[in-house]
Structure 1
Amino acid sequence: MAKDTFILLSVSAGIMEERGREPMPYASIEVANIRAKDTGRDGRVSYGSPVLKLKLVDESTGKPNIQLAKALAKADRYGKPVDFEGVYELAKVKGVEQMTFTVLDAVLDAKPIAVKAAS
């Protein structure tokens, strides 16, 4: 599992209900990338995609992790760096292959906060 640090901007989770469709759960966060890159022009520094939207997924079920979203919102870490654990994957986003990071857990105060299912 990969670890990465982002600044938490917002948390969004719930059930989407559309007419004529089954209710669909969703859980995601919006974060700011903290890594700077040198553009090579006059020593200027820029950031990778400054704002990213990441999915929160329950590793055991593969479904959106609403509990993790609630725990992040309750932790009140908005505007602060948070360590996330997840998986980097190559995926097509709007027809373009891009690296995506799917969040499986978050670490606050050196402890994972996702609720693990008992086996």
Structure 2
Amino acid sequence: MATETYLLLSVSAGTINDRDSGEPIVWANVEVVNTRAKSTGRDGNVAYGSPRVKLNLVDEETGKPNIQLAKRLEHAKCYGQPVTFEGVFDVVKQKGEEKISFIIFDAHFDAKPATKAAS
């Protein structure tokens, strides 16, 4: 299993019913910042991928969105903190194009809530 560390920006998860079919739509994802630059190998040039990335939280056993992991991240109050995610890289379709994405199965964090600075 691969691990990647990102700065956590937001967590989104829940269930709603589709208006037309009435079927539940379930989602769980995070928006993170990729802080690492990659060298292109051309004359020392450096390139960034999109610094903001939206990644899916998936239950490894069921393959469905992992709302419990989203709740753990929410309760940990680790926004703006580095979080190490475990998962796999997979090819996904986004807007008709195939792209590589990191699918998240678990997260490890050592975040402490921000405290007010002493005056």
Q: Which amino acid aligns with 1:48?
A: G
Deviations 1:48-78 (A, max 9, x none): 1111111100111111100000000111110
Question: How far apart, CA to CA, are the structure 2 residues paired with 1:27 and 1:96?
Answer: 21
Superposition map of 1:33-72 within 5 A: 33-38=34-39, 45-72=46-73
Identity, in percent, stands at 59
Q: Which runs of 5+ in 2 are unaligned?
A: 111-119
Matching of residue 20 in structure 1 with residue 20 in structure 2: yes
Q: Which amino acid aligns with 1:108?
A: F
Question: How far apart, CA to CA, are the structure 2 residues paired with 1:86 and 1:42?
Answer: 33
Of 88-97 and 32-41, more deviation after overlay is shown by 32-41
Return the index of the structure with the highest Cα Rg.
Answer: 2
Deviations 1:54-104 (A, max 9, x none): 110011111110000000011111011100000101223222221111100
3-state SS of paired residue (2:50): coil
Question: How far apart, CA to CA, are the structure 1 residues paired with 2:25 and 2:93?
Answer: 21
Partner of 2:4: 4
Superposition map of 1:93-112 within 5 A: 93-109=94-110
Q: How many equivalent residue pairs?
A: 109
Q: Which amino acid aligns with 1:85?
A: E
Q: Which amino acid aligns with 2:4?
A: D
Question: How far apart, CA to CA, are the structure 1 residues paired with 2:41 and 2:2?
Answer: 28
Work out whether residues 82 and 109 of structure 2, in 8 Å CA contact, stay in contact via their aligned partners in 1.
no
Question: How far apart, CA to CA, are the structure 1 residues paired with 2:88 and 2:44?
Answer: 32
Root-mean-square deviation (Å): 1.9
TM-score by length of 1: 0.81
Deviations 1:7-34 (A, max 9, x none): 1000000102221220111111001112
Partner of 1:115: none
Question: How far apart, CA to CA, are the structure 2 residues paired with 1:44 and 1:59?
Answer: 38
TM-score by length of 2: 0.81
Question: How far apart, CA to CA, are the structure 2 residues paired with 1:99 and 1:74?
Answer: 29
